[in-house]
Amino acid sequence: MQQLVDYPDAVEFQRVLTQLEQRPALVHPSEITKLRQQIAEAGQGRRFIVQAGECAERFIDCQSEIITEKMKILLQLCLLAAHGLKKPVVAIGRIAGQFGKPRSDEIEKRESQTLPSYRGDIINGFEFSPAARRPDPHRMLDAYQYACATLNWMRAVGESGLSALSQLKRWKLSGEHAQTRLFQDIAERIEESIAVLGAWGDYAPLSAFLSRNPIFTSHEALLLPYESALTRWSEDEGSYVNLGTHFLWLGERTRQLDGAHVEYLKGIANPLGIKVGPSTAPDELVALLRQLNPNNEWGRITLITRLGQSKAAELLPPLVRAVQKAKQNVTWACDPMHGNIVRMSDGVKTRYFDSIMAEVLVSQKAHHEMGSWLGGLHLEITAEDVTECVGGEVGVTESQLALNYQSYCDPRLNYAQSLELMIRFCDAFKGLAHCEAASGGVILPHRSVEPVVVGSG
Ligand code: PEP
Ligand code: CO
């Protein structure tokens, strides 16, 4: 099995799984139904998904302030998207369970020592020592507790009305950030317009998003014993559902048609993401869609392309065409992060902001030209002023990477870079819409809008 974890103590491993199976679920099936409906709308050009968060969450970051900041930046990106695209949005965090990392290299070498790679806090420890790198099943129980505490705090903050539009001022991050002013300006403009108009008018998409809107949770379906232990039967769905999170995605390294991960995902009703990398053949993708979405339901599948900026223009159109031809109902999203990783000469991983931006814009344009709707962005971000990705208006340089590089895994866009990306994405959208309007066209996906069918997956 791909990405299999070999736990040295089989008895302890079983004991942990039995305990996990008895723990309460973290989310309710009705939330999953709601999310699937919203993703269906995003597939049909009526909504936009902002899915963002850490590459891998760390147990040490399970703290109120850190979680609140993560919620705020996600809400800010949503506000920018709703405002810029004039569509309701749906917020999905890579949060409350994104503790595992797929690895290309099973081992890590440092000087004379070779140890198993760090695979995320749910599996082993980051410290480079034999004891830390040994897979420990108790980490699954810890991951459950941390997911639970994170989600509990997210729900508490949500209940406090943070996401209500009247609370815009509370969305500001603590501390000074290069782009705080920019967000404040947009927020103030929206507040003023609402006060002047006394009505929603142009802001209907915002009000639709902000009326006590939840932030949904997601993580990669990687560690199958953990995922299975949190999978429960739902009478409402008439199916098994993973109640450890709302949304799961199938990673680029585990999407083999006859693989264990696909087999597991076939049996649950959650909305699923599929990472689509440059090696994905269009017919293979269609075969995977038929397996994972046999009833061709809208909202069940989000195809998250991560092709790399140099390949996206060439590889995306054939994939879109194949899906269109096969009449498969999917929601398209773009992950401009995972196809654009580069290693510096000292081994540090980074991503260039320009490459990330380029893949987003190329994908947006390709979808537009094919009468398809790019219904979401999938990003690795942090609310902090880290120096992990090079470039952007804030001008992080290669030599500044070491200044504040915190990620244990992939480099994330910092606060200013995240906002800049969304603003430029929305500006480009206005440009495309402007061209459409000038030629008398409409901006909707190629398909006529069909009713949203919600059933078991
Ligand atoms: C990820 O999303 O963190 C990831 C590893 O992505 P991919 O499977 O697309 O490489
Ligand atoms: Co990553």
Class of domain 29-90+157-438: alpha beta
Phi-psi map region of 327: left, alpha, beta (phi>0 left; psi -120 to 50 alpha): left
**Ligand 1 in contact with 102 (CB < 6 A)?**
yes
Residue 46's pLDDT band, with cuts at 50, 70 and 90, is very high
The answer for 315, left when phi > 0, alpha when psi is -120 to 50, beta otherwise, is alpha
275 lines ligand 1 (CB under 6 A): yes
Q: Whose atoms come closest to the Cα of 104: which ligand?
A: 1
Ligand 2 being an ion, which residues bring their Cβ within 5 A of it?
55, 410
Q: Which listed ligand is nearest to 380 at the C-alpha?
A: 2
Nearest atom, ligand 1, residue 304 CA: 9
94 ligand 1 Cβ < 6 A: no
Q: If pLDDT is split at 50, 70 and 90, which confidence band does 83 have?
A: confident
Which pLDDT tens digit goes with each residue over 3-42? 899 999 999 999 999 999 999 999 999 999 999 999 999 9
Ligand 1: which of 95, 272, 306, 413 to mutate, judged by most atoms within 8 Å of the beta carbon? Answer: 306
Specify the amino acid at residue 47. R
Per-domain boundaries in the chain: 29-90+157-438
Q: How many CB atoms lie within 10 A of CB 90?
A: 26
Lowest-confidence pick of 190-194, 256-260, 296-300: 190-194
Query: What is the distance between the alpha carbons of residues 380 and 55, in angstroms, rounded to a whole number?
Result: 6
Phi, psi values for residue 356, rounded to 5°:
-60, -50
Counting ligands in written order, which one lies closest to the CA of residue 279?
1
Cβ burial of 382 (10 Å; 0-12, 13-18, 19+) is buried
Relative to the CA of 56, which ligand 1 atom is closest? 3
The predicted-structure confidence for 401-432, as pLDDT tens digits, reads as follows 999 999 989 999 999 999 999 999 999 998 88
371 dihedral zone (left: phi>0; alpha: psi -120 to 50; beta)? left
For residue 125, give every residue at least 6 positions away whose Cβ sits within 8 Å of its Cβ, in sequence order, or none: 118, 131, 132, 133, 136
Question: pLDDT (tens digit, 9 = 90+) per residue, 223-238?
Answer: 999 999 999 999 988 9
- Ligand 1 contacts CB of residue 252 (under 6 A): yes
User: For atom 1 of ligand 1, which residue has the closest CA?
Assistant: 55
Question: Which pTM value belongs to this model?
Answer: 0.92
Q: How many whole angstroms separate alpha carbon 437 and alpha carbon 416?
A: 31
Query: How far away, in angstroms, is 251 Cα from ligand 1 center?
Result: 6
Q: Percent of the chain having pLDDT more than 90?
A: 74
| pLDDT at position 447 | 41
pLDDT higher than 50, residue 457:
no
pLDDT at 291: 98
Counting ligand 1 atoms within 8 A of each CB, the residue from 123, 338, 377 with the most, and so the one to mutate, is 338
Mutate to test the pocket of ligand 1, among 101, 117, 275, 311 (most ligand atoms within 8 A of CB): 275
What separation in angstroms does the CA of 342 have from each of 105, 402, 451? 16, 15, 43
Per the CB < 8 A criterion, the answer to whether 288 and 262 are in contact is: yes
Does 412 sit in the ligand 1 pocket, CB within 6 Å?
Answer: no
Q: What is the mean pLDDT of the chain?
A: 90
Residue labelled with tokens 């099973």:
106
User: Does residue 259 have a pLDDT over 90?
Assistant: yes
Q: What is the pLDDT of residue 198?
A: 47
Pick the atom of ligand 1 nearest to 55's CA.
3
Q: Is 251 in the pocket of ligand 1 (CB under 6 A)?
A: yes
**pLDDT tens digits, one per residue of 149-194:** 999 999 998 888 777 666 777 777 776 666 666 777 777 777 766 6
